Amino acid sequence: MKDATVIYLYHDLGVSMESVAHTVHAFRLINNSMTIKSITAKEIIQGNWMKDATLLIIPGGADRYYAKNLNGYGNARIKEYVASGGRFLGICAGGYYGSAFVEFDKNGPLEVIGTRELNFFPGKAVGPACAPYDYLSKIGASAQEISTTLIDSKKTVIFYNGGAFFENADRIANTKVIGWYQNHRPAIVLVNHFKGKVLLSGVHVEYQADLLYSQDPYLKNIIPIIKKNEATRHAFLIALMQELGVIE
C-alpha cells in the first residue's frame, strides 16, 4: 500500500450528497490524517488517481447513473486498479454496482435489473433486502441489526435504506461474508480480486446518528437506536477497513 492514505470518493451523477457527507465524516473519525479527494467519472477515466490511491469508494445513490458515466473506459480503469492491488468500497448503490448483476425492486415501480461491468462479486445483488424503497423519502429506512465475527460484541446496528443482499455469497469462490442481516442473508462481503480487495455493503456502515435529520418523521424512532449503537458501528467500520487492508 502507499505510505500516505489517500481515499478517492466518487462524486458524480447519481451520487447521494447525504452518503458523501457521512462517508467523509466517518473516515475523518477513523483517522483525521487521511486525505479524502472527490473524483468524477471523467477523472476516473483519465486514470491519474491510480498512482496514489489507497482506496476508491463508490457511495450510496442510484447505480444506474454510475453505469451511464462509467461503462466502458471508467469501469476498465477501476478493474485495472483493483486487479493490480487496489482497494474498493461499494456502499448501498455502490454495493449493487460492484456486483455482476443487479436485481432491484423486481416487478415493482422502481425496477432496475441488469448486468454490471465491474463484476467484483460474481453474483446477484438483490434488493431492497429489508423494506420497500422510496427515492423521495426515508419511509423505507430502518435500523438493521448486523451479525459479524469481526468485533467482540458479534453484532451492531446500522442504518439501512434500500440496500442489497448478496445472493449465495457464502458459496462463491474468493468471497467471504463478514456481515449478515437477521434473516441470515449476506449483508456485507469481502472479495479477493487478483491482487486487490473489494468490500461491498448493503447497509450504510458510514452513517452516524448525529448527521441524520432529527425532524424527519421516518427517522425519529430510528436515530436513537443508531445512536445507542454508535460505538460498535464505529468499531465495526474500523475492522472492515482492516480487513480491506486500508488501515493496520
**131, pLDDT greater than 70:** yes
Q: Which are the contacts of 143, defined by CB distance < 8 A and separation ≥ 6?
A: 157, 158, 159, 160, 222, 225, 226, 229
Q: 107 and 96 in contact (C-beta within 8 Å)?
A: no
46 pLDDT higher than 90: yes
90-118 mean pLDDT: 98
Grid coordinates representing 29? 473519525
Rounded Cα distance, 47 and 50, in Å: 6
What average pLDDT is seen over the chain? Answer: 97
Among 236, 28, 10, smallest CA distance to 144 is for 236
Integer angstrom CA distances of residue 234 from 7, 8, 158, 176, 219 = 18, 20, 10, 21, 20
CA distance 8 to 234: 20
Q: Looking at the domain that runs over 6-244, which CATH code has it been given? A: 3.40.50.880
pTM of the predicted model over 0.95? yes
pLDDT at 77 over 90: yes
Cα 78 from Cα 158, distance rounded (Å): 28
pLDDT of residue 1: 41
Q: Residue 39 above 50 pLDDT?
A: yes
146/188 Cα distance (integer angstroms)? 9
State the average pLDDT over residues 45-67. Answer: 98
- pLDDT, residue 4, reads 86
Strand positions, DSSP E, 26-86: 35-39, 55-58
Report percent pLDDT > 90 for the chain.
98
At 145, is the secondary structure helix, strand, or coil?
A: strand
Q: What integer is the mean pLDDT of 82-107? A: 98
Task: Quote the pLDDT of residue 2.
Answer: 52
- Percent share of the chain, pLDDT over 70: 99
Over residues 233-247, mean pLDDT = 97
Q: How confident is the model at residue 3 (pLDDT cuts 50, 70, 90)?
A: low
- The whole-number average pLDDT for the span 80-87 is 98
Burial class, 152, CB count within 10 angstroms (exposed 0-12 / middle 13-18 / buried 19+): exposed
pLDDT at 17 over 60: yes
In the chain, domain spans: 6-244
Whether the predicted pLDDT of 29 surpasses 90: yes
Decide if pLDDT at 232 tops 90. Answer: yes
Residue range 141-145: average pLDDT?
Answer: 98
Distance of alpha carbon 148 from its chain centroid, rounded? Answer: 16
Q: 191 in helix, strand or coil?
A: strand
Please compute the mean of the pLDDT values over residues 179-191 and round it to a whole number: 97
